[in-house]
Amino acid sequence: MIENSFPGKDISQDDIQTKFPLCSKKSLDHKSIIKIENIEFGGDHVPVIAGPNTVESLELILKCAHHAKKCKIDLLRGGAYKPLTFPYRSKKYFETRSQGVAWLKEAKKETGLLTVSEIVHEDQLIEMKDSIDILQIGTRNMQNFPLLINCAKSGKPILLKRGFGSSIRDLLGAAEHILLEGNSRVILCERGIVAPHTHRASSRFLLDIQAVPALQEVTHLPVIVDPSHACFWAPWVPALAKASVACNADGIMLEFHPDPKNAAVDPLQPLSFEEIEDLIPNLAAVSEAANNRPLGAKNN
């Protein structure tokens, strides 16, 4: 293997050939289509993943699933396992774990929506393998290589979120670990990075919109954006979502909640039912106008 003569945070020609040859594009128009049942990421269409931060209860996830269906959202998201930054969990700030996974499965059964949920430890594969359609690896675990490799070996599609302090070179390195295990169904997700100025005290991260074309220049893997986690502030989410779709993201992930103020986790972040319902047609219009790509999965 050729050594990188100028190691650094930027991507060199050596990197493309020797550090992540499997993730790298082989030609200018090389693009992988990741197919998950009837949904394609990286094709002409731009799928939408949305749902609450946490699968708080069966009632909540069913409500969200039905609303997602109404809004023509393609996949339902919700965390059952949450890597919380601080260890103290209150009555309100909790994980629903196996129970949450089972509730997501129930929501899928009732609405037919495919599900996306975060996995934080390989032991959870046993319960998530058959009930969750896309395993999310969160920002805090992007470089948890044993987790990446075990998830890769499960053969499940993986949504790999960019570490908030990671370069896109690091992100592609992490994705390469998955591809090297023979699992090519990897979707990359930009979800905000740390930066000295985030324009608001509660905005922990800054959406790196530039990461979308930068990644698409180098990799054939689909690149989606999660503006909700990037800005942490619901009033900014519609603008950032539109910007993401306009800059040709291959999908979008949004948080919504029936009662945002009382969301168990991150109550400043989710859109209300009404807000997401209003946003989806606007996103569709932007996507068509900017890139001639219909929003939503082909058959939905």
From 19, 67, 220, 229, residue interacting with ligand PEP (rule: CB under 6 A): 229
- Strand pairing class (39-41; 252-255): unpaired
Distance of CA 156 to the CA centre of its chain: 15
Distance of CA 269 to the CA centre of its chain: 15
Compute the least distance from the CB of residue 32 to ligand PEP, in Å: 22
Tokens 């999660």, residue? 226
3-state secondary structure 193-213: ECCCCCCCCCCCCECCCCHHH
Choose one: 90-98, 133-141, 170-178, 196-204; the region binding ligand PEP (CB under 6 A): 133-141
From 43, 51, 79, 100, residue interacting with ligand PEP (rule: CB under 6 A): 79
What phi, psi does 156 have (nearest 5°)? Answer: -75, 150
Amino acid at 139: T
Amino acid at 95: E
Spatial CA neighbour of 178 closest among 149, 199, 146: 149
From 19, 185, 191, 242, residue interacting with ligand PEP (rule: CB under 6 A): 191
Nearest to Mn ion by Cβ — which residue?
53
Residues 27-66 that bind Mn ion (CB under 5 A): 53
From 96, 124, 139, 269, residue interacting with ligand PEP (rule: CB under 6 A): 139
Choose one: 21-29, 100-108, 121-129, 137-145; the region binding ligand PEP (CB under 6 A): 137-145
Select 67 or 161, whichever has its Cβ closest to Mn ion. 161
Compute the least distance from the CB of residue 79 to Mn ion, in Å: 6
Residues 241-270 that bind Mn ion (CB under 5 A): none
Compute the least distance from the CB of residue 56 to ligand PEP, in Å: 13
176: tokens are 């390469």
206: tokens are 């800054």
Select 75 or 284, whichever has its Cβ closest to Mn ion. 75
DSSP state of 109: H
CA distances, 2 to each of 17, 164, 179 (Å): 9, 29, 20
From the list Mn ion, ligand PEP, none, which binds 139 (C-beta under 5 to 8 Å, kind-based)?
Answer: ligand PEP
Compute the least distance from the CB of residue 56 to Mn ion, in Å: 12
Tokens 């169904």, residue? 185
Tokens 């569709």, residue? 284
Indicate whether 96 belongs to the interface with ligand PEP (CB under 6 A). no
Select 19 or 103, whichever has its Cβ closest to ligand PEP. 103
From 47, 138, 222, 270, residue interacting with ligand PEP (rule: CB under 6 A): 138
Tokens 């359609």, residue? 133
Select 177 or 229, whichever has its Cβ closest to Mn ion. 229
- Strand pairing class (75-77; 158-161): unpaired
Select 21 or 267, whichever has its Cβ closest to Mn ion. 267
Spatial CA neighbour of 268 closest among 232, 229, 239: 232
Select 53 or 203, whichever has its Cβ closest to Mn ion. 53
Select 120 or 283, whichever has its Cβ closest to ligand PEP. 120
Spatial CA neighbour of 293 closest among 238, 240, 244: 244
Which residues contact ligand PEP by CB under 6 A? 53, 79, 118, 138-140, 161, 191, 229
